[in-house]
């Protein structure tokens, strides 16, 4: 530490000797740095906001412009409400048979898969997380490590055999196959998040219920589940977001049948073709991003707490 501190200290040596420990000169390194960072901080915040939000602004902007206008004046970043063209939204939502892009159908598929994943994951992960947190059984310490390993494995490594397997049993192209894959991928993280929350619930509450004659299942159902509700909600929304956003497995399993495309797959397939106008697809992007942003803003605090619960210990 001393070598970095030395240049200014040497210069201030006399000042220090006279005035005490802290130099009071107007341009000491400390004041310069403090002032610099006070300004720099706002510059950084503004830049970060611009960088993170601009793409989303651009998405909304392009979704309400017509293609002709976009090509005529690509640099325009403000469009007055009078010039808004909302026909893009109705075109992207209408079914393909009706001259639209069928996003309503994709959204229904995605919602089905995502909600199914949420339901199944919770059904499996809740007892699992409870067991890992509360019960001592053979290997309960090793299980978290095993799940972590699963989570870190390349999903492309799973893609090949699952593709082969589902092709052979005829589940490729079915939403059910996709559902199974999602659950298996997410359940480890879900258990990790839920277990952290179960750990914070005092055991004494459960013991009190047990002494009053509650069975183990009764304790789980009447005491632990209601207490863990905030974590369960956060977890459900987290799982929903992952399943709604997923792309690789949807691409591998569902690409052949347009009727079963999810929103992610639909947008990526249509954006590869030249026939669909960019502005219409921007409307599609807004539509598939909106549910995620709503879910995220509604639960930001819960999610952030749940995700980073283990971070403080480093």
Partner 1 sequence: MTTDVPGRTVRGGDGAGGQIRARRPHGPMRRSEARAGLLLISPTLIIVLVVVVVPILWTVLLAFQRVRLLNLRSANIFDPLTLDNIRTVLESDDFVPSLMTTLAYSVFGTGLAIVIGLVAALALRGAFRGRTFVRAAMLLPYVAPVVAVTFVWRTMLNPQFGVANELGVNVFGWDAPIAFLSERSAEVSILGLDVGVPVALMTVIAFEAWRSFPFAFLFLTARLQAAPATLEEAARVDGATPTQRFRYIVLPQLMPTIAVLAVLRFIWTFNSFDDIYLLTGGGAGTEVISVRVFNFLTARGDIGLASAQALVLAVILAVVVGLYLRRFARREEVAG
For partner 1, the binding residues in 202-241 under the rule CB under 8 A are 203, 206-207, 210-211, 213-217, 219, 241
Closest approach, Cβ 91 to partner 1, in A, equals 16
Which of 93, 122, 183, 194 is in the footprint of partner 1 by CB under 8 A? Answer: 183
The residue from 15, 115, 201, 268 that contacts partner 1 (CB under 8 A) is 268
- Assess 185 for contact with partner 1 (CB under 8 A): yes
- In terms of Cβ atoms closer than 10 Å to its own Cβ (0-12, 13-18, 19+), residue 292 is middle
17 in contact with partner 1 (CB under 8 A) = no
200-203 long-range contacts, Cβ below 8 Å, gap at least 24? 201/227, 201/228, 203/134
**Between 91 and 130, how does the x/- string for binding to partner 1 read (CB under 8 A)?**
--------------------------------xxx-xx-x
- Does 132 participate in binding partner 1 (rule CB under 8 A)? yes
Within 61-90, which residues bind partner 1 (CB under 8 A)? Answer: 62, 70-71, 74-75, 77
Does 306 engage in binding with partner 1 (CB under 8 A)?
no
- Encoded tokens for 27: 């341009």
Q: Which is nearer to partner 1, 230 or 291 (CB)?
A: 291
Residue 131 contacts partner 1 per CB under 8 A:
yes
Based on CB atoms, which residue is closest to partner 1, 97 or 272?
272
Q: Does 297 bind partner 1 (CB under 8 A)?
A: yes
Q: With binding defined as CB under 8 A, does residue 142 bind partner 1? A: no
276 contacts partner 1 (rule: CB under 8 A): no
Q: State the nearest-atom distance from the C-beta of 121 to partner 1, in Å.
A: 10
Q: Considering only 82-90, 111-119, 228-236, 306-314, which stretch makes contact with partner 1 by CB under 8 A?
A: 306-314
Which stretch in 29-37, 81-89, 90-98, 226-234 sits in contact with partner 1 by CB under 8 A?
Answer: 29-37
HEC string of the chain?
Answer: CHHHHHHHHHHCHHHHHHHCCCCCCCCCHHHHHHHHHHHHHHHHHHHHHHHHHHHHHHHHHHHCCCHHHHHHCCCCCCCCHHHCCCHHHHHHHCCHHHCCCCHHHHHHHHHHHHHHHHHHHHHHHHHHHHHHHHCCCCCCCHHHHHHHHHHHCCHHHHHHHHHHHHHHHCCCCCHHHHHHHHHHHHHHHHHHHHHHHHHHCCHHHHHHHHHCCCCHHHHHHHHHHHHCHHHHHHHHHHHHHHHHHCCHHHHHHHCCCHHHCCHHHHHHHHHCCCCCCHHHHHHHHHHHHHHHHHHHHHHHHHHHHHHCCCHHHC
Does residue 314 interact with partner 1 by CB under 8 A? yes
The only residue of 64, 181, 228, 283 in contact with partner 1, by rule CB under 8 A: 181
Q: Among 7, 14, 58, 199, which residue sits at the site for partner 1 (rule: CB under 8 A)?
A: 58
Whether 253 contacts 163, CB under 8 Å: yes
Among 99, 161, 170, 226, the residue binding partner 1 under the rule CB under 8 A is 161
């Amino acid at each position: 530490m001393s070598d970095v501190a030395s240049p200014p200290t040497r210069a201030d040596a006399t000042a220090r000797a006279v005035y005490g420990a802290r130099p009071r000169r107007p341009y000491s390194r400390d004041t310069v740095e403090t002032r610099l960072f006070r300004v720099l901080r706002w510059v950084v915040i503004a830049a970060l906001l611009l960088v993170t939000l601009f793409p989303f602004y651009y998405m909304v902007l392009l979704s309400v412009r017509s293609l002709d206008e976009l090509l005529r004046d690509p640099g325009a970043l403000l469009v007055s409400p009078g010039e808004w063209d909302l026909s893009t939204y109705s075109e992207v939502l209408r079914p393909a048979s009706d001259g639209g892009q069928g996003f309503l159908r994709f959204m229904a598929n995605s919602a089905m898969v995502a909600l199914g994943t949420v339901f199944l994951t919770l059904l499996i992960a809740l007892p699992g997380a409870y067991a890992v947190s509360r019960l001592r059984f053979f290997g309960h310490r090793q299980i978290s490590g095993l799940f972590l390993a699963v989570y870190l494995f390349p999903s492309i490594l799973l893609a090949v055999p699952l593709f082969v397997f589902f092709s052979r049993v005829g589940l490729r192209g079915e939403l059910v196959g996709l559902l199974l894959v999602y659950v298996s991928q997410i359940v480890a993280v879900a258990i990790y998040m839920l277990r952290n929350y179960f750990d914070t619930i005092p055991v004494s509450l459960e013991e009190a219920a047990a002494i009053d004659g509650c069975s183990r299942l009764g304790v789980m159902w009447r005491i632990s589940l209601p207490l863990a509700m905030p974590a369960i909600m956060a977890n459900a929304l987290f799982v929903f977001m992952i399943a709604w956003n997923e792309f690789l497995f949807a691409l591998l399993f569902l690409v052949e049948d347009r009727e079963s495309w999810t929103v992610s797959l639909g947008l990526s397939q249509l954006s590869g073709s030249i026939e669909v106008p960019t502005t219409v697809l921007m409307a599609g992007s807004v539509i598939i991003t909106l549910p995620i942003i709503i879910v995220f803003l509604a639960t930001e605090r819960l999610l952030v707490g749940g995700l980073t619960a283990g971070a403080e210990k480093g």
